[in-house]
């Protein structure tokens, strides 16, 4: 693993983004729209309850911000990969001295950069518009965000693996995969409202524990460490599966000549 090459790969994405208004805007535009929707939904619900609804309802804003972190860290990897597919540059990269792990790490680090920009922007905006203070989560913010990023990495690797294997026909997955888990992940409502069978699935997803934990902290100021433990444990498993899948699909791609074919279909 060469950190120098990883760094160059990150810079490459920075170059690509700097040259594109659309991409730059995308980092801020969609999250802002989402925040507006969820922020005003929150306002509306609070007003309808005439002050009887607890302050807790503001977790919707926190949930939306957290969801965006997950979504964008997954996209960071998948879109960076697709960027090379679209520009038919993949062969140039992999016939050079670049390891798959370096490539993925570069995409992830660039994804982190993107997420950070979005996150800072959303935090400020949520505070200005709705007086929602994400830092109220205090210390817990760090493990929460870290777990979301790691799950994003795992999902990003899985999506990339599937696109490598099944080609650009599977491209829609880049945007769709996070939404496959969203209903189960109890982003905007507690797991307890789900029917029992769905709860089983819900608890098998790392980020469910992050969202449950977040609501607990907002409600009581404290958090059950078991949620955090579950999130970390499950993430380790997800990450291991994702790595296995990616390496496997990359090997299939080497066997079937897919690296040269991607982007030309």
Partner 1 sequence: MSSDVILRVDELTKVFGDLVAVDRLSFSLSRGEIVGLLGANGAGKTTALHMILGVLRPTSGRIEIFGRDLHRHRIEVLSRMNFSSVDVNLPANLRVWQNLWIFAKLYGVQDTWSRMDRLLELLEIGHLRNAITGHLSSGEQTRLNLCKALLNDPELLLLDEPTSSLDPDIADKVRKLLRRIQRERGLSILYTSHNMRDIEEVCDRILFIHRGRLIAEGPPQRVIQQFRHRNLEELFIHIARHGEVVVRGDEV
Ligand X SMILES: Nc1ncnc2c1ncn2[C@@H]1O[C@H](COP(=O)(O)OP(=O)(O)OP(=O)(O)O)[C@@H](O)[C@H]1O
Per rule CB under 8 A, is residue 259 in the interface with partner 1? yes
Per rule CB under 8 A, is residue 241 in the interface with partner 1? no
Per rule CB under 8 A, is residue 256 in the interface with partner 1? yes
Per rule CB under 6 A, is residue 51 in the interface with ligand X? no
Rounded CA-CA distance 13/150 in Å is 20
Subset of 26-85 contacting partner 1 (CB under 8 A)? 83-84
* Nearest to partner 1 of 14, 56 (CB atom): 14
Work out the angle at residue 188's Cα, subtended by the Cα atoms of residues 182 and 192, and round it to the nearest 5 degrees.
90
Per rule CB under 6 A, is residue 256 in the interface with ligand X? yes
Per rule CB under 8 A, is residue 248 in the interface with partner 1? no
The number of angstroms, rounded, from the C-alpha of 40 to the middle of its chain's C-alpha atoms is 23
Print the binding letters for residues 200-239 with ligand X: x by CB under 6 A, - otherwise: ----------------------------------------
Rounded CA-CA distance 120/201 in Å is 32
Among 261, 262, 264, 265, binds ligand X (CB under 6 A): 261
* Nearest to ligand X of 8, 95 (CB atom): 95
Which residues here bind ligand X, judged by CB under 6 A?
256-257, 261
Which residues here bind partner 1, judged by CB under 8 A?
4-5, 8-9, 11-12, 15-16, 19-20, 83-84, 87-89, 91-99, 251, 254-257, 259-260, 264
């Amino acid at each position: 693993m060469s950190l120098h090459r990883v760094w160059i790969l990150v810079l490459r994405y920075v170059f690509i983004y700097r040259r594109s208004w659309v991409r730059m805007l995308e980092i801020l535009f969609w999250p802002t729209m989402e925040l507006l929707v969820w922020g005003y939904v929150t306002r509306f619900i609070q007003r309808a309850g005439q002050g009887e609804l607890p302050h807790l309802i503001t977790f919707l804003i926190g949930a939306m911000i957290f969801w965006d972190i997950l979504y964008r860290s997954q996209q960071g990897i998948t879109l960076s990969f697709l960027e090379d597919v679209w520009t038919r540059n993949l062969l140039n990269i992999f016939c050079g001295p670049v390891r798959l792990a370096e490539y993925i790490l570069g995409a992830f680090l660039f994804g982190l950069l993107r997420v950070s920009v979005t996150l800072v922007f959303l935090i400020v905006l949520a505070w200005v518009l709705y007086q929602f203070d994400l830092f109220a989560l205090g210390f817990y913010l760090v493990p929460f965000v870290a777990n979301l990023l790691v799950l994003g990495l795992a999902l990003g690797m899985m999506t990339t693996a599937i696109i490598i294997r099944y080609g650009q026909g599977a491209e829609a997955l880049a945007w769709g995969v996070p939404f496959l888990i969203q209903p189960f992940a109890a982003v905007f409502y507690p797991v307890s409202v789900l029917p029992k069978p769905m709860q089983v699935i819900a608890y098998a997803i790392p980020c469910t524990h992050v969202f449950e934990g977040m609501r607990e902290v907002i409600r009581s100021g404290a958090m059950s460490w078991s949620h955090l433990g579950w999130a970390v444990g499950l993430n380790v498993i997800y990450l291991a599966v994702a790595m296995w899948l990616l390496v496997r699909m990359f090997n299939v791609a080497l066997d079937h000549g897919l690296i040269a074919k991607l982007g030309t279909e």
